[in-house]
Structure formats: structure tokens, C-alpha cells
Amino acid sequence: MPSNKVTKDFKSLLKNAEVLTYLLVMMITGAFFGLLDLFLFWLLQDLGASKVLMGITVTVGTAAGIPILVASKHIISTLGHANTLILGLAFYVVRMIGYSYIQDPWWCLPFEALECFTVSLMDTASVSYGDTLATPSTIATLQGMYGGLHYGIGRALGSLIGGNLIKVVGIRNTFRGAAGVSAVACILYFFINYNCFRKQQQERRQKAISEKTNKATVTEEKKHTEDK
């Protein structure tokens, strides 16, 4: 739905603590995405990886994401949006720690396969979560903010901060430091979400189930009437 009061609707989003937390997490994960997207091939090149292997890494990450995308609806409905994002943060820890210790570039492939959780599943959960948090007139606004913070500001911060840290402490220590930041963000987000937003999330889930049940009942009654 179009918004007749864009500024007012925008301010209403910024007054929502759950929305602000969600957007902050999106910016942080965007920084991790930018760090790996720009500097992983640099590490692999230092390890002597061929261009063929670098291409295979993209293939493995993409292929691994297909079954996860197929199952994403079930995963998100089971875990919840926030917990799915927390799972993605946890896998960022595993990926970056793994990359920081490999000596043979081919060992990057198992960690590239985990991209299905940090990119495919996380992106799906992020878009779906934004849709859940927004009102009909603020969906486009919130999705735009998510995209700008994750793929714009967050990714830029990851490349900028990551590049400067690599110059000072090296690429392996930079990945380990990023893994530590991801671990802290994962734990903090878990506790904040559990203690502050769990009640609202349960209410939204119950409302969605109720609406789905009512819709199914109406459809069944309509079908029964038509059969008669």
C-alpha cells in the first residue's frame, strides 16, 4: 500500500526497538558479507589457489544454497526469524575461523558450502522478517532500509575496516577478529531477542496461525456451499 505520510511512517519504524535491532544486525552481517566477498579470494590467492578453484568456490556456495532455499519456509517457521538470523551469525563464526586456519586452498570448499546459511537462508529470513515487522504502508520503506544497510553501508564498512585491519594485523587475524565480533553479536542478539522481543514474536505467530486457520475455514465452507 502507498504511504500517505512517509515521514511519519518512517519515524514509527525508528521508534520500534525490534526494528532497530533487526536493522543493526543487518548492517553487521553486511560487514561480514563484504569482508568475505572482497578478501577471501585474496587469501586463496596467497595460498596458491588457481582461478578454477576460485570459480568452484562460488559454484559450491550457490549449489549448497538451493536445498536450503527449498526448505527455508520450514526452517524459518520452526526456528523463527530472529533465531534463523542468530544461526547465520553462528555460521559466520565457523566460516571465518575456518578460513583463517586453512593451509591448503581446497579446504575452503567445506566452509564455502556453509554460505547456504550465511547468505541464502539469512537473506530469505531477513526479507521475510522485515515483511513481518512492517505495516502494509511501510513494507517498501523497511525493505529499502534493510537493503541499504546490509548491501550498502554494512558491506562498505566490511571492506573499509577489513582492508585497514589486514594492512596492520594480516588477513588471518582479521578473519579471526571478525569471527570474534560475530560470536559476540550472536550471543548478544540471542539474549536481547529472548528477553525483549519473544512475547511480541509469539503474539505475531499466534495471530498468523489464527488468520491462516480462519482463511482455511472460510474456504472450506465456501467449497461446501458450492458442492451443495
% of the chain with per-residue pLDDT over 70: 90
Question: What pLDDT is attached to residue 200?
Answer: 83
139-147 vs 17-46: helix crossing angle, rounded to 10: 30
- From CA 12, how far away is CA 178, in angstroms rounded? 32
More confident residue, 138 or 92: 92
Neighbours of 129 (CB within 10 A): 24
DSSP H helices in the chain: 6-14, 17-46, 51-79, 81-101, 108-113, 115, 122-133, 139-147, 155-169, 171-192, 198-227
Closest CA to 50 of 88, 11, 104: 104
Confidence band of 180 (pLDDT split at 50, 70, 90) = very high
Q: What is the number of residues in the chain?
A: 228
**Residues 6+ positions from 38 with CB-CB distance below 8 Å:** 158, 159, 162, 163
DSSP state of 18: H
- pLDDT value at residue 202: 82
Per-residue cell: 185: 553479536
Q: What is the pLDDT of residue 140?
A: 85
Is pLDDT of 204 > 70? yes
pLDDT at 136: 82
Nearest to 23 by CA among 134, 115, 106: 134
Integer CA distances (angstroms), 47 to 96, 100, 141, in order: 16, 11, 43
- pLDDT of 108-132, one tens digit each? 999 999 999 999 999 999 999 999 8
199: pLDDT confidence band, cut at 50, 70 and 90? confident
**DSSP reduced 3-state for 196:** helix
- pLDDT category at 216 given cuts 50, 70, 90 is low
When pLDDT is cut at 50, 70 and 90, the band that residue 135 belongs to is confident
